[in-house]
Homo-oligomer: A and B are copies of this chain.
Amino acid sequence: MINNGFILNDNDLYHIKTVMRMKNHDKIQVVYLEEPYLCTINNIETNIEIQIKEKLSKEEDNLSDVTLIIPLLKEQKFDFILQKSTELGVKKIIPVILSRSIIKLDKDKENKKIERWEKILKEASEQSFRNDIPKITSVKKLSDLKEIEGLNLFCSTSEKNRSIKYILKNNAFCDKINVLVGPEGGLTKEEEKQLSEIGFISITLGSRIMRVETVPIYLLSVINYENME
Protein backbone atom coordinates (compact mmCIF):
# COMPACT_ATOMS: atom_id res chain seq x y z
CA MET A 1 0.00 0.00 0.00
CA ILE A 2 1.39 3.46 -0.93
CA ASN A 3 -0.14 6.96 -1.25
CA ASN A 4 -3.63 5.83 -0.48
CA GLY A 5 -3.47 3.19 -3.17
CA PHE A 6 -2.12 -0.24 -4.01
CA ILE A 7 0.53 -1.67 -6.28
CA LEU A 8 -0.67 -4.91 -7.81
CA ASN A 9 1.42 -7.81 -8.99
CA ASP A 10 1.49 -8.95 -12.62
CA ASN A 11 -0.95 -11.80 -12.11
CA ASP A 12 -3.56 -9.50 -10.60
CA LEU A 13 -3.01 -6.90 -13.37
CA TYR A 14 -3.53 -9.56 -16.01
CA HIS A 15 -6.65 -10.76 -14.22
CA ILE A 16 -8.14 -7.24 -13.99
CA LYS A 17 -7.33 -6.17 -17.56
CA THR A 18 -7.64 -9.35 -19.57
CA VAL A 19 -9.92 -11.69 -17.67
CA MET A 20 -12.28 -9.25 -15.95
CA ARG A 21 -11.92 -6.61 -18.74
CA MET A 22 -12.25 -3.77 -16.23
CA LYS A 23 -12.09 -0.13 -17.28
CA ASN A 24 -11.03 3.17 -15.72
CA HIS A 25 -13.31 4.29 -12.86
CA ASP A 26 -14.51 0.72 -12.31
CA LYS A 27 -14.73 -0.16 -8.65
CA ILE A 28 -12.85 -3.09 -7.24
CA GLN A 29 -12.58 -4.69 -3.82
CA VAL A 30 -9.02 -5.24 -2.65
CA VAL A 31 -8.10 -7.30 0.37
CA TYR A 32 -4.81 -6.27 2.03
CA LEU A 33 -3.60 -7.91 5.24
CA GLU A 34 -7.06 -9.49 5.56
CA GLU A 35 -8.75 -6.06 5.53
CA PRO A 36 -11.11 -5.21 2.65
CA TYR A 37 -10.91 -1.86 0.78
CA LEU A 38 -13.18 -0.43 -1.91
CA CYS A 39 -11.00 1.08 -4.65
CA THR A 40 -11.29 2.63 -8.12
CA ILE A 41 -9.15 1.86 -11.11
CA ASN A 42 -7.24 4.66 -12.92
CA ASN A 43 -4.80 4.80 -15.81
CA ILE A 44 -5.50 1.26 -16.88
CA GLU A 45 -3.89 1.84 -20.32
CA THR A 46 -0.46 2.74 -18.99
CA ASN A 47 0.41 2.54 -15.30
CA ILE A 48 -2.56 1.03 -13.60
CA GLU A 49 -3.43 2.79 -10.32
CA ILE A 50 -5.74 1.49 -7.66
CA GLN A 51 -6.99 4.32 -5.42
CA ILE A 52 -8.60 3.56 -2.08
CA LYS A 53 -12.11 5.03 -1.79
CA GLU A 54 -12.95 3.63 1.60
CA LYS A 55 -12.00 0.94 4.04
CA LEU A 56 -14.83 -1.58 4.29
CA SER A 57 -15.99 -3.15 7.48
CA LYS A 58 -14.91 -6.72 7.79
CA GLU A 59 -17.87 -9.02 7.47
CA GLU A 60 -18.11 -11.15 10.54
CA ASP A 61 -19.67 -14.46 9.80
CA ASN A 62 -20.90 -16.80 12.46
CA LEU A 63 -19.55 -19.84 10.71
CA SER A 64 -17.41 -22.51 12.27
CA ASP A 65 -13.78 -22.66 11.33
CA VAL A 66 -13.72 -25.78 9.13
CA THR A 67 -10.60 -27.63 8.03
CA LEU A 68 -11.01 -30.26 5.32
CA ILE A 69 -8.54 -33.14 5.28
CA ILE A 70 -8.70 -34.70 1.83
CA PRO A 71 -6.85 -37.43 -0.06
CA LEU A 72 -4.77 -36.72 -3.14
CA LEU A 73 -7.10 -37.11 -6.10
CA LYS A 74 -6.94 -36.66 -9.85
CA GLU A 75 -6.25 -33.03 -10.68
CA GLN A 76 -9.75 -32.24 -11.95
CA LYS A 77 -11.46 -33.58 -8.81
CA PHE A 78 -8.97 -31.99 -6.44
CA ASP A 79 -9.32 -28.59 -8.14
CA PHE A 80 -13.11 -28.93 -8.03
CA ILE A 81 -12.95 -29.48 -4.25
CA LEU A 82 -10.65 -26.47 -3.80
CA GLN A 83 -13.02 -24.22 -5.78
CA LYS A 84 -16.32 -25.34 -4.29
CA SER A 85 -15.10 -25.54 -0.72
CA THR A 86 -13.69 -22.01 -0.97
CA GLU A 87 -17.11 -20.87 -2.17
CA LEU A 88 -18.68 -22.61 0.85
CA GLY A 89 -16.31 -21.09 3.40
CA VAL A 90 -13.58 -23.64 4.16
CA LYS A 91 -10.71 -22.12 6.20
CA LYS A 92 -7.96 -24.65 5.64
CA ILE A 93 -7.21 -27.69 3.52
CA ILE A 94 -4.84 -30.48 4.48
CA PRO A 95 -3.99 -32.93 1.68
CA VAL A 96 -3.25 -36.35 3.11
CA ILE A 97 -1.71 -39.56 1.80
CA LEU A 98 -3.98 -42.60 2.23
CA SER A 99 -3.52 -46.25 1.23
CA ARG A 100 -6.27 -46.23 -1.36
CA SER A 101 -5.56 -42.89 -2.99
CA ILE A 102 -4.30 -43.72 -6.43
CA ILE A 103 -2.35 -40.49 -6.81
CA LYS A 104 1.23 -40.39 -5.62
CA LEU A 105 3.24 -37.19 -5.43
CA ASP A 106 7.01 -37.02 -5.30
CA LYS A 107 8.54 -34.54 -2.95
CA ASP A 108 10.13 -32.64 -5.89
CA LYS A 109 6.79 -31.85 -7.43
CA GLU A 110 5.04 -31.05 -4.18
CA ASN A 111 6.09 -27.39 -3.96
CA LYS A 112 4.99 -26.72 -7.51
CA LYS A 113 1.68 -28.41 -6.79
CA ILE A 114 1.11 -26.34 -3.66
CA GLU A 115 1.81 -23.13 -5.58
CA ARG A 116 -0.79 -24.19 -8.14
CA TRP A 117 -3.33 -25.04 -5.41
CA GLU A 118 -2.74 -21.66 -3.74
CA LYS A 119 -3.44 -19.90 -7.04
CA ILE A 120 -6.73 -21.79 -7.43
CA LEU A 121 -7.75 -20.92 -3.86
CA LYS A 122 -6.92 -17.23 -4.42
CA GLU A 123 -8.96 -17.03 -7.61
CA ALA A 124 -11.89 -18.89 -6.06
CA SER A 125 -11.82 -16.49 -3.08
CA GLU A 126 -11.96 -13.49 -5.43
CA GLN A 127 -14.86 -14.95 -7.34
CA SER A 128 -16.88 -15.54 -4.20
CA PHE A 129 -15.96 -12.15 -2.69
CA ARG A 130 -14.26 -13.64 0.32
CA ASN A 131 -12.03 -11.38 2.43
CA ASP A 132 -9.64 -14.20 3.15
CA ILE A 133 -8.05 -17.03 1.24
CA PRO A 134 -8.21 -20.61 2.57
CA LYS A 135 -4.82 -21.99 3.55
CA ILE A 136 -3.42 -25.21 2.18
CA THR A 137 -0.66 -27.17 3.89
CA SER A 138 1.95 -29.53 2.54
CA VAL A 139 0.92 -33.16 2.01
CA LYS A 140 0.62 -34.95 5.36
CA LYS A 141 0.54 -38.49 6.66
CA LEU A 142 -2.15 -39.67 9.08
CA SER A 143 0.35 -39.68 11.92
CA ASP A 144 0.92 -35.94 11.37
CA LEU A 145 -2.69 -35.27 12.37
CA LYS A 146 -2.33 -36.14 16.03
CA GLU A 147 -1.56 -32.56 17.07
CA ILE A 148 -4.60 -31.02 15.38
CA GLU A 149 -6.98 -29.09 17.68
CA GLY A 150 -10.77 -28.97 17.55
CA LEU A 151 -13.58 -31.45 16.91
CA ASN A 152 -11.91 -34.13 14.79
CA LEU A 153 -14.12 -36.25 12.55
CA PHE A 154 -13.67 -38.75 9.75
CA CYS A 155 -16.24 -40.02 7.24
CA SER A 156 -16.41 -43.76 7.64
CA THR A 157 -18.15 -46.36 5.50
CA SER A 158 -18.26 -48.84 8.39
CA GLU A 159 -19.85 -46.46 10.91
CA LYS A 160 -23.62 -47.03 10.78
CA ASN A 161 -24.97 -45.18 13.81
CA ARG A 162 -23.16 -41.96 14.63
CA SER A 163 -24.41 -39.50 12.00
CA ILE A 164 -22.98 -36.11 11.09
CA LYS A 165 -26.30 -34.69 12.31
CA TYR A 166 -25.98 -36.28 15.74
CA ILE A 167 -22.44 -34.92 16.07
CA LEU A 168 -23.28 -31.38 14.95
CA LYS A 169 -26.35 -31.23 17.21
CA ASN A 170 -24.26 -32.31 20.17
CA ASN A 171 -21.41 -29.91 19.46
CA ALA A 172 -23.45 -26.81 18.67
CA PHE A 173 -20.93 -24.42 20.23
CA CYS A 174 -17.88 -25.96 18.66
CA ASP A 175 -16.05 -23.32 16.66
CA LYS A 176 -13.37 -25.51 15.11
CA ILE A 177 -14.18 -28.63 13.10
CA ASN A 178 -11.63 -30.78 11.25
CA VAL A 179 -13.09 -33.42 9.00
CA LEU A 180 -11.32 -36.08 7.01
CA VAL A 181 -12.81 -37.45 3.78
CA GLY A 182 -11.69 -40.87 2.56
CA PRO A 183 -10.54 -41.74 -0.97
CA GLU A 184 -12.55 -43.73 -3.52
CA GLY A 185 -12.83 -47.19 -1.96
CA GLY A 186 -12.80 -45.66 1.51
CA LEU A 187 -10.32 -45.75 4.35
CA THR A 188 -8.74 -49.08 5.27
CA LYS A 189 -9.55 -50.72 8.61
CA GLU A 190 -6.04 -49.89 9.81
CA GLU A 191 -6.49 -46.24 8.89
CA GLU A 192 -9.82 -46.07 10.73
CA LYS A 193 -8.16 -47.64 13.76
CA GLN A 194 -5.23 -45.24 13.60
CA LEU A 195 -7.58 -42.24 13.35
CA SER A 196 -9.63 -43.43 16.33
CA GLU A 197 -6.43 -43.79 18.34
CA ILE A 198 -5.47 -40.15 17.74
CA GLY A 199 -8.93 -38.93 18.78
CA PHE A 200 -10.84 -38.73 15.49
CA ILE A 201 -14.54 -39.68 15.69
CA SER A 202 -16.07 -41.81 12.93
CA ILE A 203 -19.28 -40.48 11.38
CA THR A 204 -21.74 -41.59 8.70
CA LEU A 205 -23.31 -39.29 6.12
CA GLY A 206 -26.25 -41.67 5.61
CA SER A 207 -26.90 -44.41 3.09
CA ARG A 208 -26.67 -42.39 -0.10
CA ILE A 209 -23.56 -43.12 -2.17
CA MET A 210 -21.68 -39.89 -2.88
CA ARG A 211 -18.59 -39.40 -5.02
CA VAL A 212 -15.49 -38.33 -3.16
CA GLU A 213 -15.57 -34.82 -4.63
CA THR A 214 -19.21 -34.32 -3.58
CA VAL A 215 -18.58 -35.12 0.09
CA PRO A 216 -16.75 -31.86 0.98
CA ILE A 217 -19.58 -29.80 -0.57
CA TYR A 218 -22.12 -31.80 1.40
CA LEU A 219 -20.15 -31.37 4.64
CA LEU A 220 -19.65 -27.61 4.27
CA SER A 221 -23.30 -27.15 3.25
CA VAL A 222 -24.66 -28.89 6.33
CA ILE A 223 -22.18 -27.19 8.69
CA ASN A 224 -23.15 -23.77 7.23
CA TYR A 225 -26.78 -24.78 7.63
CA GLU A 226 -26.35 -25.78 11.27
CA ASN A 227 -24.65 -22.42 11.95
CA MET A 228 -27.56 -20.52 10.38
CA GLU A 229 -29.89 -18.55 12.68
A residues near B (Cβ < 8 Å) are: 59, 61, 84, 87-89, 127-129, 163-165, 206-211, 214, 217-218, 221-222, 224-225, 228-229
Contact = CB atoms under 8 A, between A and B. Distances in A.
Given A165-B228, A222-B225, 4 more contacts: A87-B211, A87-B214, A128-B210, A217-B218
Contacts of A211: 87, 127-128
Contacts of A229: 163, 165
Contact of A217 (B208, B214, B224, B228): B214
A165 B165 CA distance: 14
Contact of A228 (B88, B163, B228): B163
A126 to B, nearest CB: 11
Q: Oligomeric state, in number of copies?
A: 2
A208 B61 contact: yes
A132 to B, nearest CB: 13
Given A225-B165, A225-B225, A228-B163, A61 B218 contact: no
Contacts of A206: 224, 228
Given A84-B214, A214-B87, A214-B217, A208 B224 contact: yes
